[in-house]
Structure 1
Amino acid sequence: MLAKDTEMLIVDWGMGDTTARDRAIARLYPELQQIASARLRREVGSSMSTHDLVNDAVEKILRIENPEIGGRSHFVALASRVMRNVLVDHARAKSTDKRHHHKVELNTRIQGEGPFDLARLNSALVRLEAIDAELMEIVEMRYFGGMTVPEVAEVTGWSEPTVKRRWQVARAWLADAMSHPLAHG
């Protein structure tokens, strides 16, 4: 019943109910903490806490006017994208700090994946988005949101076999892009 109540809160949020928005975020906060914790686990030299990442992400989500959130999975996908942006911004800020020259890594909960250099991964994702935005979104949901194939299927409206195939394509493309980064300069 709690899941159904959360879904209704999210629908009400989408219709402008700020009380429903606050209650939905409160209900989903433990899940956001799990996602953030997974993102931050074993990062090299990270000064960002799970609490900081979740709060920064929620703050950015609250600034979105009329977010189109179709349910819990859509919210998790949105939170995943926002957490990615927060982590990338944090990594960029660290890289400009002359006293620290640590690369920031992303450790996924996906077996056989990661850790990845976050700056290199973000660069590859920007390139992938230019080629196929839907593939980039799958990577974002899987890596940054820790979403399962069925959850990605729910958000995208695709069948699970389609998500699996597209996920394989995205992983293969990313592996190549990560091993052949673009030269800057």
Structure 2
Amino acid sequence: MDRELREAFAKSKSKDKQESYEAYLHILQATEKPVDWAYEVWDNLLDGLTDTDNHQRSRSAQYLANLAKSDPQNRMLEDLPRLWAVTKDEKFVTARHSLQSFWKVGLGGGEQKDLVMKYMANRFKNAADEKNYTLIRFDILQNMKHLYDQLGEEEIKQTAMDLIETVEDDKYKKKYKSVWR
């Protein structure tokens, strides 16, 4: 990892909101493609998933999701439950940002994709007991769409369509179908 990225990780924890946000954007951009330094930050990011600062929990989850494609040792297969836990964070904005990036883990390989789909499908089916469950369901379907757009696997789309068909409220069924147009 170069010095600039090392500094970005340090600055992403800054109390200066502008500095922190710029570092966050820099890290997200740097992790859009596979990198060879993922394991230099991996354990720190895992620790960040339980940080007392909800911004750090959210960012750690997003960075880890982005780094899943840079995980030749398949560590994510073991660490996925810890990442998933942040999608149910006490702070809804933290949970939502974490959930919205969760699909990227599926780009790490076939096993990762299968687990991501399993986690999301189960959450969709059981979300009705959660606060803001319609938004959670929408995000899950949007995640599946992103994964489908990247991988082109029809089973992803079919799973999403099957889940939408379980929705009884026509208003939400229509909204959820709009993700796939």
Give TM-score scaled by structure 1 length. 0.28
Higher relative contact order (CA 8 A, sep 6+): 1
Looking at secondary structure, tell me which structure has more helix per residue: 2
Give TM-score scaled by structure 2 length. 0.29
